[in-house]
Amino acid sequence: MSDVEITVRGSSLRRHPAQRGTVHAYVSVEGPESGEVFDAVAQSVEQVQASVGALHDPEAGPVTRWFGQEVRTWAARPWNDEGKQLPFVHHARADLEVEFSNFGVLSTWLRDMAELHGFAVDRVEWSLTEERRAELEHEARVGGVESAREKAAAFAGALGYADVRALEVADAGMLSGHRQSEGGDGVMFARAAAFSDAGRGELRLVPEDIEIAVKVDARFVAREA
């Protein structure tokens, strides 16, 4: 029998509990006077920064990273239902991100910040440390190649071939002669936060596992043993 070329796609998935939770929040106030809304936001932001600063330690946590934007202001004249333009409404807003390594402290901090005027949470983003993410991406790539090799061996065995050798391995969609975009070789899904109320004013966060998926394309040649 002549040699047979086999092209397959391998895949691998790794899951790991989230190690970091990043709060994407903001302080926003609106009103008829620009100075008043600016001062209100600035005062709340000052309290947020003080609370975060007391928790910040890049190595030990519980806050490992944070930054806040300057207070920005703007004004707009809304329209009512009768088509009449109303007086100016002034807005002030400041966005911030706070990364936590301790999710219990994260929950407590959010509960405390909820009392501040104008404070709101956009979302909580779950992630891994850079070191652990790199380890899992490596494991997933190795697993993707093993998956492709197993598929090729199964195809070859069904055809009566026993000797299978790799010719080419690439990220999905990147084999020579078959190039197409696949959006990268590894994908991390940072799950949105799930919130629950324990019924006693306690805010609990429910982080979900982080998934890293890898796909690889591989070309093999099968020969008679």
Which domain CATH number covers 212?
3.30.110.170
Q: Are residues 116 and 77 in the same domain?
A: yes
Q: Is residue 180's pLDDT more than 90?
A: no
Q: Which CATH number is 86's domain given?
A: 3.30.70.360
Kindly report the average pLDDT of the chain as a whole number: 89
Structural domain boundaries, residue 118: 20-127
pLDDT tens across 85-124, in order? Answer: 999 999 999 999 999 999 999 999 999 999 999 999 999 9
* Bridge partners, 30 (sequence order): 91
Q: Give the DSSP per-residue string, 146-202.
A: HHHHHHHHHHHHHTT--EEEEEEEEETT-STT-----S-SEEEE-PBPEEEE-SSS-
Among 82, 109, 127, where does a domain finish?
Answer: 127
Is the pLDDT at 196 greater than 80? The verdict is no
Residue 55 DSSP SS3: helix
Q: Residue 13, class by beta-carbon neighbours within 10 Å (0-12 exposed, 13-18 middle, 19+ buried)?
A: middle
Q: Which of 108, 127, 146 is the last residue of a domain?
A: 127
159: Cα within 13 Å, side-chain hemisphere: 21
pLDDT at 185: 46
Structural domains counted in the chain: 2
Among the listed residues 53, 186, 48, the one whose alpha carbon sits nearest the alpha carbon of residue 112: 48
**pLDDT reading at 194 higher than 90:** no
**DSSP code of residue 118:** T
Confidence of residue 204 (pLDDT cuts 50, 70, 90): low
Instruction: Clarify whether residues 214 and 153 are in a common domain.
Output: yes
Instruction: Give the domain-ending residue among 104, 127, 150.
Output: 127
Task: Name the band, by pLDDT with cuts 50, 70 and 90, for residue 162.
Answer: confident
The verdict on 11 and 25 lying in the same domain is: no
In terms of domains, do 111 and 164 share one? Answer: no
For residues 34 and 117, state if they share a domain: yes
pLDDT tens for each residue of 33-87: 999 999 999 999 999 999 999 999 999 999 999 999 999 999 999 999 999 999 9
Tell whether 107 and 88 lie within a shared domain: yes
Q: Name the strand (E) or helix (H) holding 113.
A: helix 103-113
Distances in whole angstroms, Cα of residue 166 to Cα of each of 48, 80, 146: 57, 69, 11
